[in-house]
Amino acid sequence: MMTILFFLLAIAILVFVHEMGHYLAARQCGVAVERFSIGFGRALLKWHSKRSNTEWVVAAIPLGGYVKMDEPNFEAKPLAARAWIVFAGPLANLIFAALAYAVLFHSGREEPIAVLAQPKAQSVAALAGLREGDRVIGIGSNQIASFNDMRWRVAQALVGEGAASISVKVERAGGEVISVVLPLSAAQGGEAAEANDPSATVAALGLAPLSKSVRVIRVQEGSVAQAAGLRDGDRILRVGQEEVRQPDVVITRIKESQGKPIELAVSDGSQIERVVITARAGQDGIFRIGAVVGAEVETTHVADEPLQALAKGVTRTWEMSLLTVRALGRMLSGELSWRQISGPVTIADAAGQSAGNGLKAFIGFLALISISIAVLNLLPIPMLDGGHLMYYLWELVRGRPLSAEIQETGRRIGVALIMALTAVALFNDFARLAGW
């Protein structure tokens, strides 16, 4: 229920921002706005502003919104004014994202330090000579402040640029600085990096933050972990006689148990207990205990001054916009899987999870989706803002607008494209739920 509520809240905020961009631009250009609606269908709440003569509405179907203008008044405006009114909606989403990122950069956040754990044997990082304790200080020409920063740079290289490799600069104990080249293609085979997932690729390269211990993040209701007495916040110190500090080692040993009892040494902070647990096989044949484990890592507090935070917010919005456009281009060329497109189910789940992780995580989620809305609306598809701008470009070049018949045909094509895109997104949602 909370997931749905936060999803609807996120949609309402971002739709309001988008439509407010259109509204303010219309008022600036002297176009009368008859209705400003959040949602479609029957009006649940109404308020009529005497000052602007606009009806403000919250409607029953909260998946979108619109600004209804005086059509003859709008069409009578110069081409530049009409284009500005149309473009102002996506621009408002981009401004919102930049301000949201600026707030996050200024407020500060705890991020894992970019000190590496021992790479797995035969991994790309291990073969390149990286080892435990190396601190990543640069990727390409970019300085690295934290492990999250490093993951972001890998995402840009992998998804945005389609790079075949990255240059990683590390500092070792004693101050020695070395640079190594890691081939991204070597980490993109199979499940580990399916669909060019940057986080999976980072892991497949053998790059992980140095962990002090393995912490139980969440124990599922009715699981064997709960039955064995594991609790949220417990630390797993040993699996059998093997000391563990990395969560992937714990996960691997559980998978390898094949349903045989395994012994865990678990600490709640005051005492160490011996827990014997028997993993169960899921429908996919993988053995699990029903607990989410994660690394307990050393963090660094990263915060920026207001002007620097604003500049970084604008930069991050620009980079994310380019990343989204490039990803769409690579989908069209077949280089990137269409399985990366998410629908309302996945977005709702992400909204709920981000809200559960605190206000900052939810703000970051809103910024990301706001950028996606802006980029989507600027695509040259009839029915979207980008489609209208495409018509205006034709009018600018040819000196006259497209005929009503051609615009109607374009509208039908646009509806078909949007329906197809929606169908793909919904299919991907249900495929993820079904584990396909």
Chain centroid to CA 420: how far?
A: 22
> Quick check: is 319 catalytic?
no
Q: What is the predicted pLDDT for the residue at 191?
A: 41
Report H helices in 333-384.
344-356, 359-377
Phi, psi for residue 142 in degrees, rounded to 5:
-100, 135
Q: What is the predicted pLDDT for the residue at 154?
A: 82
What residue has token string 């008859």?
A: 34
Phi, psi for residue 292 in degrees, rounded to 5:
-95, 125
Confidence check: pLDDT of 310 > 90:
yes
Q: Are 27 and 70 in contact (CB under 8 A)?
A: no
What residue has token string 């497209």?
A: 402
pLDDT digits (tens, 9 = 90+) for 317-368: 998 898 888 878 877 776 666 666 665 555 555 666 665 667 888 898 899 8
Report angle CA 260, 262, 265 to the nearest 5 degrees. 175
For residues 195 and 286, the model is more confident at 286
pLDDT digits (tens, 9 = 90+) for 61-96: 888 899 999 999 999 999 999 999 999 999 999 999
Chain centroid to CA 407: how far?
A: 35
Give the torsion sign (CA, 381, 383, 385, 387).
positive
* Measured distance CA(55)–CA(406) in Å, rounded: 32
Q: Are 139 and 168 in contact (CB under 8 A)?
A: yes
Q: Give the CB-side neighbour count of residue 398, counting CA atoms within 13 A.
A: 10
For residues 415 and 243, the model is more confident at 243
Tokens of 225: 């972990």
State the pLDDT confidence band at 205, using cuts at 50, 70 and 90. confident
* Measured distance CA(36)–CA(257) in Å, rounded: 59
Domains of the chain: 2-32+70-106+361-434 (no CATH), 124-210 (2.30.42.10), 211-297 (2.30.42.10)
* Measured distance CA(164)–CA(184) in Å, rounded: 5
Confidence check: pLDDT of 424 > 80:
no
Q: What is the predicted pLDDT for the residue at 90?
A: 95
Radius of gyration of the chain (CA): 26
In this structure, the number of other CB atoms found within 10 A of the CB of residue 170 comes to 24
Find the catalytic residue in 19, 55, 176, 273. Answer: 19
Per-residue H/E/C for 193-233? HHHHCHHHHHHHCCCCECEEEEEEEEECCCCHHHHHCCCCC
Lowest mean pLDDT among 119-133, 193-207, 300-314, 337-351: 337-351
pTM (two decimals):
0.71
